[in-house]
Chain A
Amino acid sequence: MKILPFKLPFALSFLFCFFSVAINFSACASDAEQAKASLERLSKSLRQLNFNTSFVVVKNNQAEPYHWLHGVVDVKSEGENNSEAKIELEILALLNGPRRDILRVGNTVSYIEPEYAPYSITSAQISGPIPAVLGRDVSVLHDNYHFVSVGKSRVLGRAAQLIRIVPKDTHRYGYWLWLDKDSGLLLKLAVVTRKGQLLEQIQFTHLEISDNASENLKQLSVTDLPKVIELSAKDDNTQLAWQVNWLPRGFKEVKSDRHRITNSKQAVEFMLFNDGLIDISVYVNPSQEKQRPIEYAQDGATIVLNNVENNIEVSVVGKIPLSSAKKIVNSLSFTQTTIN
């Protein structure tokens, strides 16, 4: 009888604890669910809305301004039943310096750049400063990243929801996204280290959403695009005399080939890896130098790292921390002692 007064509060507090944990847990789960829903909405908005927007990429104390237009128009398909189909139109233009424009009509993307003659490729996504996956199926990121809905703030004069894409390991960076509550579109994006240090950010400076695609885009739909270059899949899987033995989990080989670097005319053996969000390039080529210690440069979140050992130059490029890049370089093994 005497014990009871003690036991009851104990039991109660235990129960209380249990409930609070359960509530906490469900809160976490709903956070993740909410974050996922927001990202899915972003993906949908990026594909379906007509928007006219400007943003600035800030990295290394520099700002690169871009203008980005997207729209969806109806086109009469040339199929037998003359049905109307919707195609996406997109223009992304760098506003400072030499012209760098990316145009997209449906599944054709054209790049206009100072280094190359204009060309087109068959692709449903443009490769710009904004990760292409945000407009595609974000669920591919589940294996390697957590989605966390963090809180609300005000960005670009609009109510925004902050979503974090947090890597599950320490070998890559996190992405913070501020999404418009109204339209679901991106208002700001930041690439941050695990410790929360900001490396690179994209701040939108203007956003206009309209019911119809803008005039510029409609003109684009009737413009002749540069010739589509055909890339044969065969070239994408060249057997190389070396391999990468360590990569952060979830990176898959996209391609391996031999090509010449345009700027330096250097012939290289090349492998490209991707985890859904970021790309890592590995280059191997013979060098005239015998030995050179690791050197690296950082362009925003992108690291360019390179060293020479035993007359073989190895380089790694990608939005990964220095430690990961070093680890990749050190993991290379060669099936032959010298490559040629």
Chain B
Amino acid sequence: MSEIKFEAISSLVDNYHDSAQETEQVIDEILDDEHLSTTWQQYHLIGDVIRDEVSSALQLDLSSQIAEAIADEPSILAPIASSKVFKEQNAIKAKIVQLIKPVGQLAIAASAAGLMIIGVQQNTADTGEVITPSQVVQTKPLAGFANPVSFNYSQNSQSQQKQAVLEQRIKQQRRFQALLSDHQQQVKLSAVKATKVEKEAISTSTK
């Protein structure tokens, strides 16, 4: 049934229609049905693209939208993990990776959108420095873990912790990428000065 409708829309878009009555009927259906009206829109867009009539203002820049959507997401209410928990987390990293995979993929899509570096390996474990817990951590001493609670509860809090770790990783990755691209940008701009200096050197040596 719906396929017939899609066909009708398609022929309408292409300006082929059998009878005025039928056309009217299809248009009414489109107006009523949200799904059909998006199809109408999409067919037009497809047609525009094929005919190369898409205005340059139209940019399907989904990456930035995704990144924004993620940035706007409310932060997840996870208990703030202490450094000790972090270390344990690292030890069972392999397991975490499996569990967080779906979220991780989204994160990669968002963070890779901006820049060309993707293969950044991170090293936080071997800094050789004792991680001193910050004030915030001390005032909220692991409320969730001290309580002997049901299986379900501990599962839940664990996954929240994983979320927190993941969030941190994503943030860190973004920070690194932002710094790296800014560094490259600054180096490019500094070439202006280098050229000026060179020119001055040449002009003074010829004088």
Contacts and interface: CB of A to CB of B under 8 A. Distances in A.
A279 B178 contact: no
A288 to B, nearest CB: 10
Main DSSP-derived SS at the B contact region: helix
Nearest to A302: B180
A123 B134 contact: no
Contact of B179 (A60, A62, A261, A274): A261
Interface residues of A, number: 55
Given A97-B116, A299-B117, A262 B185 contact: yes
A183 to B, nearest CB: 25
B188 interface: yes
B51 interface: no
Interface in A214-269: 231, 233, 236, 254-255, 261-264, 266, 268
Given A60-B120, A122-B195, A124-B195, A261 B182 contact: yes
Interface residues of B, number: 44
A122 B190 contact: no
B143 interface: no
A107 B129 contact: no
A298 B182 contact: no
B189 interface: yes
A297 to B, nearest CB: 4
Contact of A124 (B124, B182, B198): B198
B122 A279 contact: no
A315 B185 contact: no
A254 B193 contact: yes
A64 interface: yes
A266 B127 contact: no
A60 B121 contact: yes
A295 interface: yes
A298 B121 contact: yes
A281 B174 contact: no
Nearest to A62: B119
B17 to A, nearest CB: 42
Interface string A155-188: 0000000000000000000000000000000000
15 contacts: A60-B120, A62-B118, A121-B188, A127-B191, A231-B189, A231-B193, A236-B193, A254-B193, A261-B178, A268-B182, A283-B182, A294-B129, A295-B122, A306-B179, A318-B183
Interface of B: 114-124, 127, 129, 131-132, 134-136, 172-196, 198
Interface of A: 59-62, 64, 94, 97-98, 100, 107, 109, 111, 115, 121-127, 132, 136, 231, 233, 236, 254-255, 261-264, 266, 268, 270, 272, 274, 279, 281, 283, 289-291, 293-299, 302, 304, 306, 315, 317-318
Given A263-B115, A279-B183, 7 more contacts: A115-B114, A122-B192, A127-B188, A132-B191, A255-B193, A274-B190, A283-B182
